[in-house]
Chains A and B, each alone.
Chain A
Amino acid sequence: MDISLSEAQELLQQSAHNFLQKECSLRLVRAMEEDAKGYDPELWKQMGDLGWLGLVFPEAYDGTGGNMMDLAVLLEEFGRALVPGPFIPTVVQVGLPLLWAGSEGQKREHLPKIAGGELIGTLALYEPTVTSEPSGVEATAIRQGDHYVLNGTKLCVPYAHVADCLLTVARTGGGAAPADGITLFLVDGKSVGVTTTKLGTIADDHQCEVILQDVRVPASHVLGDPGTGWAIVQAILAYGAVARCAEMVGIAQQAFEISLNYAKTRVQFGRPIGSFQAIKHKLANMVIDVDGSRYITYRAAWLLGEGLPAAQETAVAKAWTSEACRRVVKEAHQVHGGIGYTKEYDLQLYTRRAKAAEIAFDGADAHREALATLLNL
């Protein structure tokens, strides 16, 4: 039993922290919220050069051979810096599924491009049915010779407007269970019939509506086997949940540090407000929430990284961290008083991103229900 980071992970953490402090300022973060693309291509290229985009791919595909635990370390720093852009959609929602289920040809075609910063990807799963259950997939994919024709509406697809590859979940058939007949397609983002519209979101994180109208997709672009794609989706949801947990740990850590600093320097009633017990206790509660989130996330990430079963641990991590991160940013606002409510002050950047991360890949209620089932209740 040893829950400390390895030396290599500590180095990754340190170098990521230093790099992001220099290259990913909050000015850039704010600018990207209003930017049409929503990410900085220069920063994206640098992340490719640093090996971050290929962190979890084997070297055979131009990756650096790391695992989910290494990625969690990196993503915590991304959370601290509020890195804008389609990193998780590309690496976790498209890259990893390719690695798990892609043909050799598909892997060779896509993975080195992702690692090199030349391919942006995203998962198109959710529909107006607004559920993570397989019954929510109503988009259809009808076989026509050597093609499929896709029709449907997808919602809240991150960075679909710039994605080279839309990993699209659709029904090629049906069966006894709702999960039967679900297939994953590597859809070229520039395909005829794909219409993308930006949605306005609380975190200004460039999620889109994607309408598929008679989109022709070669049969060779099916990922995995037709009709059995839901298992891959479940894995994407699990890895995605843990990835957002890692991000939330970083967000919460930074919100906590900003609050601690404010409590030490803001003076009212002739003394720093941090000398009042009410404020002290809020910061003490943040310690519990941040530390608890970090280590419960590490546990899930480590298990995934080792290829060990992690269903319970993932549900626990997402249920806890989603709420703990929300508590931290809420209390951070209380510590800050009025100034924290302004657009100009930085706290609100963390608060809104925290909410998006809480909601992504299901919030606490859904994960608690999943855990109840896993506990045989």
Chain B
Amino acid sequence: MDWKWSQEETAFQQEVREYLKGELPSGWGKTVFYDQDDDEQFKFAHEFTKKLAKRGWLVVSWSKDYGGQDWPFWKQVLFYEELAYAGAPVVGINAVRYLGPTIMLYGTEEQKRMHLPGIASGEIVWCQGYSEPNSGSDLASLQTSALEDGDDFIINGQKIWTSGAQHSQWVFLLARTDPTVPKHKGISYFLADMKTPGITVQPLIDMTGGHHFNQVFFDNIRVPRSGLLGEKNRGWYMATTTLSFERAGVEGPMHAKRMLENLVEYAKQTTRNGKPLSKDPVIRQKLAQMAVEVDVARAIAYRVATAINNKQVPGPESPALKVFRSELSQRLGQVGMELLGLYGQLKPGSKWAPLQGQIENLYLTSISSTIAAGTSEIQRNIIAERGLGLPR
């Protein structure tokens, strides 16, 4: 057992911190915040991502055969933690973590040649077409259809919650190729060019006022055979089995750590009724509890990381991590609001907004964190059923 980073790892950690400090504007994550839904800032983030790729630091978990770094496992963990801690604006992480490894596992040589370099360089941005208006938690019930027409597929349907579709050049999606079999067994995995005639992207503005999500409509779009990834009707299993490190979000707690540090700083610098907020016993309890929970989230994350590294059969630990850190972010948003009092409601960009309105933003965005990527309710069902063997 060893809860400390080695000397080598600590030196690498320092290297990453210095690189990020050099690449990101001064005050990034503390007084300057990234709005991923803003088009101009997205351009900056895309450039940052491509630069990271040029340094060889985008697809660090990929094998060297595909342009990766084949880094030792814990080095990857450390690296992703540092990116999260700094709030580094990496775009297209879904392609790096989900799609790329799926293509490596199931793709033809032609598909690998066609798509992997663009992901590895950070050049090509992908969006993910899974959820539909009638298929959220019950994703397997999806109805977007893909009918064979000669060597092509004709796809019809509608996707929702498609993050970043407005910036994406390609989409990876699940569509139904066989409506006559049980729902999980008739789904296929497709790769489509967003410029394909018949694809329409419609913004879906969220409650923060941001343009993050979209609806994407597929109206008789034609996808060539090279757009089918893996075996027909095996899409569900390709998309949902095998827990890989990339998907576990082990570094997630570091976002909370950064925000908590900003709150601690604020508490020390701000006086109310003649006393620094940091001397109020109630506030001390709340901030200390958040510090406790951030550490516990990291401990659970390392437990997940260890399980993945040892290639253990996935147990309840990964959904447990997702539930805990998403709910932690909500508690953190609430503590932040309590700390800021009247000013907590001031939005990013508003005069007088403390912490550049980040608490108002966190409070709202964290509402989605227990819903996206598997709701807390579904995750708890998964823990209970798949993890603990309770009857469905």
Which A residues form the contact surface with B (CB < 8 A)? 1-6, 9, 69, 260, 263-264, 271-272, 274-275, 277, 279-281, 283-285, 287-288, 291-292, 295-296, 298-299, 302-303, 308, 313, 315-316, 319-320, 365, 368-369, 371-372, 375-377
19 contacting pairs across A/B (C-beta < 8 A): A2-B74, A3-B1, A4-B306, A272-B390, A277-B380, A280-B380, A284-B316, A284-B323, A284-B380, A284-B383, A287-B316, A287-B388, A292-B299, A316-B295, A365-B285, A369-B281, A371-B292, A377-B267, A377-B279
A296 touching B1, Cβ below 8 Å: no
Asked if A375 meets B289 with Cβ closer than 8 Å, knowing A1-B3, A275-B392, A295-B303, the reply is: no
CB nearest neighbor in B for A4: B306
A316 to B342, CA, bound (A): 30
A281 to B74, CA, bound (A): 32
A5 touching B288, Cβ below 8 Å: no
A302 touching B391, Cβ below 8 Å: no
A368 touching B285, Cβ below 8 Å: yes
CB nearest neighbor in A for B268: A377
Partner of A1, one of B4, B287, B377: B4
Which B residues form the contact surface with A (CB < 8 A)? 1-5, 9, 74, 77-78, 264, 267-268, 278-279, 281, 284-285, 287-289, 291-293, 295-296, 299-300, 302-303, 306, 310, 316-317, 319-320, 323-324, 377, 379-381, 383-385, 387-392
Which residues of the partner chain B approach A299 to less than 8 Å between Cβ atoms? Answer: 3, 295, 299
Which residues of the partner chain B approach A274 to less than 8 Å between Cβ atoms? Answer: 384, 390-391
Asked if A375 meets B288 with Cβ closer than 8 Å, knowing A288-B323, A320-B296, the reply is: yes
A368 to B291, CA, bound (A): 9
A295 touching B299, Cβ below 8 Å: yes
Which residues of the partner chain B approach A279 to less than 8 Å between Cβ atoms? Answer: 390
A283 touching B296, Cβ below 8 Å: no
A319 touching B289, Cβ below 8 Å: yes
A319 touching B288, Cβ below 8 Å: yes
A288 to B384, CA, bound (A): 12
| Secondary structure dominating the interface of A | helix
Which residues of the partner chain A approach B268 to less than 8 Å between Cβ atoms? Answer: 376-377
A264 to B385, CA, bound (A): 11
A280 touching B390, Cβ below 8 Å: yes
A296 touching B388, Cβ below 8 Å: no
Partner of B1, one of A5, A285, A291, A369: A5
Asked if A287 meets B383 with Cβ closer than 8 Å, knowing A5-B1, A299-B299, A319-B292, the reply is: yes
Which residues of the partner chain A approach B2 to less than 8 Å between Cβ atoms? Answer: 1-3, 302
A371 touching B291, Cβ below 8 Å: yes
Interface centre among B264, B295, B383 (most CB of A within 10 A): B295
A9 to B2, CA, bound (A): 13
Question: Nearest chain A CB to B330's CB is how many angstroms away?
Answer: 15
B384 touching A283, Cβ below 8 Å: yes
What 13 new A-B contacts, CB under 8 Å, besides A3-B3, A285-B380?
A1-B2, A1-B4, A4-B310, A291-B300, A296-B296, A298-B299, A315-B288, A319-B292, A372-B285, A372-B288, A375-B288, A377-B264, A377-B284
CB nearest neighbor in A for B304: A291
Question: Nearest chain B CB to A296's CB is how many angstroms away?
Answer: 5
A369 touching B284, Cβ below 8 Å: yes
Please list the 7 inter-chain residue pairs (A to B) with the smallest Cβ-Cβ separation, ordered nearest first: A280-B384, A284-B380, A368-B288, A372-B284, A295-B299, A284-B383, A377-B278
Which residues of the partner chain B approach A320 to less than 8 Å between Cβ atoms? Answer: 292-293, 295-296
A69 to B1, CA, bound (A): 9
Question: Nearest chain A CB to B138's CB is how many angstroms away?
Answer: 15
Question: Nearest chain B CB to A277's CB is how many angstroms away?
Answer: 7
B299 touching A296, Cβ below 8 Å: yes
Partner of A280, one of B278, B302, B319, B385: B385
Which residues of the partner chain A approach B299 to less than 8 Å between Cβ atoms? Answer: 3, 292, 295-296, 298-299
A281 touching B384, Cβ below 8 Å: yes
A313 to B4, CA, bound (A): 13
A284 to B389, CA, bound (A): 11
CB nearest neighbor in A for B327: A288
CB nearest neighbor in A for B323: A288
A271 to B391, CA, bound (A): 9
A6 to B1, CA, bound (A): 6
A281 touching B380, Cβ below 8 Å: yes
Partner of B320, one of A5, A280, A281, A291: A291
A296 touching B320, Cβ below 8 Å: no
Asked if A264 meets B391 with Cβ closer than 8 Å, knowing A296-B296, A316-B296, A377-B264, the reply is: yes
Asked if A303 meets B3 with Cβ closer than 8 Å, knowing A3-B302, A288-B300, A291-B303, the reply is: yes
Which residues of the partner chain A approach B380 to less than 8 Å between Cβ atoms? Answer: 277, 280-281, 284-285
Which residues of the partner chain B approach A316 to less than 8 Å between Cβ atoms? Answer: 291-292, 295-296
Interface centre among A274, A280, A296 (most CB of B within 10 A): A280
Which residues of the partner chain B approach A1 to less than 8 Å between Cβ atoms? Answer: 2-5, 9, 74, 77-78, 302
CB nearest neighbor in A for B301: A295
A199 to B128, CA, bound (A): 64
Asked if A272 meets B285 with Cβ closer than 8 Å, knowing A1-B5, A291-B317, A320-B296, the reply is: no
Which residues of the partner chain B approach A2 to less than 8 Å between Cβ atoms? Answer: 1-2, 74, 306
Which residues of the partner chain B approach A272 to less than 8 Å between Cβ atoms? Answer: 390-391
